[in-house]
Each structure stands twice: as structure tokens, then as C-alpha cells.
A and B are shown apart, each in its own frame.
Chain A
Amino acid sequence: MTTQTTEQPGGGHARQRSVVPPATDRFDHVVRSEWTKFWSVRSTMWTFIALVVVTVGISALLCLAVAANWDDINAADRAQIEPVSQSLSGIFLGQMAIIVLGALTISSEYSTGGIRTTLTAVPQRLRLLAAKGLVLAVIAFAAGLVTMVPSFLLGQAVLSTANAGIEVSLGDPGVLRAVIGGALYVAACGLLGFALGALLRHTAGAITAAVGLVFILPIVGNFLPGSWGDNVSKVLNAGGSIMNARPVDNQLDPWTGYLVFSLWWVVLLAIAAVLMRRRDA
């Protein structure tokens, strides 16, 4: 034992209490534990680097494509270009990094077997799920800001090289909301990966399902015919609308779009929560 033991007449040992304080039962303890776990694996830093580099890099390149060819773009196409979402557009590739991170937050517990150790420490499964989700959401939002602000600033600087006055600044109407909305989108993507990870308990399965939801389904939506097809397409492409500073054709209002996109993770996480309570670990 850590503490000294004293010999007793019977030959047994009396046990002295150690530094361990009395038992408590607090949610913030679980959150702190998950925070420690989040930052103590290498994959966290790598996925953040991938998120920032890919998003900022691709966004700048797509802005450059617009600025360099501005004189050759016709009026109708020019009207379709929304400068804020253009400068954040790399997120549609970069989001995979945060989806993977979200999935790993829970699926790595299952792939390593660590879930059994975790659940013996925190047997209330919904509490564990809530703590993990909270830590992930806060960190993903912060990572979103760290990604979106430079992406916006660099993108606008690139757009300004067209000398056509298409660039906007953070003070312009709707711009700040769109940039912060980009960070909210990153948080929602992380939670989507997390919900799928909790549901499927398998990293590759969760990532495959997420690719279907954020890449494949929107493309399918674009091929649907008629006005109902347009409406379905709007719903399937809802995620990006929060990053528009002004209304864009064939996309939902920013907040409506964000709520629709958030429904994915909310519904999937609710199902995962119900299953997690019932399933053997």
C-alpha cells in the first residue's frame, strides 16, 4: 500500500486511508477527464493541422481562380459568386478532418477496448456521451474559428487582386455571422462524426457514412428533377448556407440551413444514446 501499514495482533494489517478524497459524483469531473483524453493522443493535433491547412489552402486557391479569371467570367456567373463562402469554400474538403476527429473521439474507445476501462470509471453512459460531446463541440468550434478567420482574411485579400471591388470586410452586413457560422459548421461536422462513431462503434464505418452524408447526398440532390427536386436539394445542401453573407439561389436561409444540417447529428446522436444504454460494452 501507499500508506504505511501497521502490524496488528492478529497478524493482519490495518489499512490507513490514503490521499484519496471521499467519493464524489460530478459531471465536471467527467468533462475534465475527457478534456485530458482529447489532448493526450497525437491524432488530435494532426487532424487540426489538416483542418487548417486544407481549408485555408483550398479556399485561397479557389479565390485565386475567381480573381485571376474575373474578366472572363460572365455577368450571370459573377452574380452567383458569394465572396464570404468563396473564401471559406475549402471547408468542404477540410471538414473530413473534423469528422474523423469527432468519430475517433468515441470509436477509438471501442477499437482499443478502452471503453470498458472508461465505463468502469463512469458507468452512467449518457453522462459519458454528454461529456465527450461537450468537449468535442467546444474544441471543434474553437478550431473552426482558428480555421475560418484566416481563411476569410486570406481569401478576401486574394479576391481584392481582381481590382473589381468584390472583396468584403468583417464589418459588412452578414459577414461576421457567416464567418462565425463557418466555425459553427465545423462544430456540427465534428458532432456528426461523433454521432456516427457512437452509433457504429467503428472508425472506418463512421467515416464512410459521413462521406455519404456530406459528399454523396448533396450531389445526388443536384440531379433530382423538378421543383421538388430543388427543394430536396436545398435540404441536402443545407450545411453550407450558414456561410453565405447574402442570399444565394437554391440554398436555404443561413439559420434554417444550419438547423436542418444540425438535425443529422442530433437525430443520429439520440439514436446512438438509446443504443448505448442498451448495448453491452
Chain B
Amino acid sequence: MGTSMIEARGLTKRYGDTLAVDDLSFTVQPGTVTGFLGPNGAGKSTTMRMVLGLDRPTSGSALISGQPYSTLKGPLHHVGALLDAKDVHKGRTARTHLRALAQSNGIPAKRVDEVLEMTGMSSVAKKRIRGFSLGMSQRLGIAATMLGDPDVLMFDEPVNGLDPEGIQWVRNFMRALAAEGRTVFVSSHLMSEMAQTADHLIVIGRGRLLADVSTRDFITQSSTNAVRVRSPQAAQLVELLRAQDVTAEPVDGSLRVRGVTTDHVGDLAAAHSLTIHELVEERASLEEAFMEMTRDSVEYHAEVPTTADKGASS
């Protein structure tokens, strides 16, 4: 299992004039949940499709445990992938859908019942997929990924459209898979989601690699910490800070000071007998840090800056 890695080497995909994926190289390690993070349209889905051999790279390659996907023998035994839960024939029942998939890789029918049980789908096994909610479809898709008990799992935006309970279930499921030593690669356009699930992050924007770091490092590095201070003698405080080469900008009747701690500002004010009404640490949210990093690579900018679009997957 130690070799069950996903590797991208100079992966590139061009559609006409558009470079969807641009010379992307990364390695996804076993035993951890690796988040694949990027705004919508960053090339996450395209990358995953190339890893699965569905789309042909313009150049570069993608390997599973050192092999191209298309050369894997009985691929469901090695890789479980859920790209889009709607990618099924909706006229079949959940059970026949899974049974046909299992048969193609020589997996016994007993395993179909197991994965239905595992994902809480046993009660709707004989229902046609057409009538399924998005949450049920996601569970069915996840059930399909587990058919071959694979070492490598890939999920594209698995919590999109799920209710909080469903989201919690998916998170726990992915964490459990990684704890068992499997390689778990999961995409999202929401940093807050990844912060709660992923140990490691691969961040892309406009098809290019922006960061390949542990989640912890990403949070520490990218937090643009600031101090917010409210004082009736703000003008004097600004002067004192400027003397130390620290700039303070006025925001909503108070000051935002970057690059210093609350202790420092408090001490400085005390030393000059300035009155302080409020002094707080202002920690940038992870979402803001993510947006900061990907600002130049977002495909469409709204007139008024908003949080990352919660629409379709990239």
C-alpha cells in the first residue's frame, strides 16, 4: 500500500486556445486526505479525468501506483473514483447499477450488498436511481468507489449539495479511509471544507499549481494577521506607529495595523499615555487566505467581491 500514490507529471490539457491544465506536477500520498483546492474552472475535474484515463492529456502523464490508469488490471480493485454522482443510467436500480459495475471487474454480488450497507443505501437498493435525491446519488457514487476495496480513492466535490448531516458523514468516511492507510484525493472549491477534512493541500488556479503544502502550514503561512485598534487619539497613534515604519489604515472609525501584535500596540499606547477603547487581533479567515492566493486565477470576477461561487464543480 505504500506505493499507492497518484502522480501527475507535467500534466497539460489544452482545449483549443484555452489551457485548462498547465504543466501540473504533484504527488498524492497514502494515509492522508489530500485536498485538491481551486476556484471553479481551475482545472480540478479535468485533472481528475486525465488521472482516470477518461481525457487524454495534451502532454505530460498521470500515474496510479506508477502505472497509467488504462493499464491497470481490474481497475476498481485499485482505484475508486466518484466524479459526478449523476454519471449513471437513471433507469436502473441502485443494486443493478452496482452489480453491473462489480461484474465488469469480477467482484462478487455479496460485495454489492456490503457497500450498500456501508453507505446506508440498503433500503433503497431496489429503487430506480431516477428518484434519488442528490444526497442519495452521492452515497450511491461512494458505494461504487468501494466495490473493489481500493487503495486509492478520488472524489470530485463530494459534499456539493449535501445537507449538513451528509457533509459530516462524507468527511468522516474520507478520514476513516485515510486512517486505514488509503490514498484519498478529494477536490473542493471551498477552503473551509478542506480545512476540516484534508491533511495536505494541492492548490491550483487557472490550471497551474499554486501550492503543495500541509493544511497546517497553509493556515499559518497565509493568515494575514492584523490588529484592530480604536482610540480617541487615533491620529497620535498613527504617528507613533509610522515612526516605527508600521502603517495603520483607518477602517470604520478604527485602525487596522498590520505586522504587529496586540501586545506591541498596547504597550506603545501605554508608554505615551494614549487612551485605547478597543484592541483586538484580527485573524483572516481561511477562505480569505485562499481567495488571496487564487485572486489572479479566478476565471470570472464579480462586480462586487463575493465569497467563492458555490455553483457547479470546475
Q: Which of A91-120 contact B (CB under 8 A)?
A: 108-109, 112-120
B87 touches A2 (CB 8 A): no
Interface size class of B (residues with CB under 8 A): 35 or more
Contact across chains for B100 and A33 when beta carbons are under 8 A apart: yes
Closest to B87 in A: A113
B interface secondary structure, majority: loop
A115-131 vs B, CB cutoff 8 Å, 1 = contact: the mask equals 11111111110000000
Is the Cβ of A36 less than 8 Å from the Cβ of B107?
no
Please determine whether B88 and A36 come into contact, CB atoms closer than 8 angstroms. Answer: no
B53 within 8 A of A: yes
Type the 1/0 row for B223-246, where 1 means its CB is closer than 8 Å to any CB of A: 000000000000000000000000
Interface residues of B in 126-157 (CB under 8 A from A): 144, 146-149
Distance of A27 from chain B, by nearest CB (Å): 10
- Residue numbers in B under 8 Å from A22 (CB-CB): 77
* Chain B hits for A123, CB < 8 A: 52-53, 69-70, 72, 75
Contact A2 B91 (CB under 8 A): no
A43: Cβ under 8 A from any B Cβ? yes
A34 to B94, CA, bound (A): 16
Residues of B within 8 A of A17 (CB): 149
Asked if A120 meets B84 with Cβ closer than 8 Å, knowing A29-B103, A40-B93, the reply is: no
Interchain CB contact (< 8 A) of B144 among A12, A18, A23, A117:
A117
Return the chain B residue nearest A108 by Cβ: B89
- Asked whether, in the complex, the Cβ of B100 is within 8 Å of the Cβ of A36, the reply is yes
| A-B contact list, 29 entries, CB within 8 Å | A1-B118, A2-B115, A2-B118, A2-B146, A13-B176, A19-B111, A20-B107, A21-B106, A23-B72, A23-B73, A23-B105, A24-B106, A36-B100, A37-B92, A41-B91, A108-B89, A112-B90, A113-B86, A113-B88, A115-B87, A116-B83, A117-B88, A120-B52, A120-B81, A121-B105, A123-B69, A123-B72, A280-B49, A280-B56
State the A residues within 8 Å of B (CB).
Answer: 1-2, 5, 12-15, 17-26, 29-30, 32-34, 36-37, 40-43, 108-109, 112-124, 278, 280-281
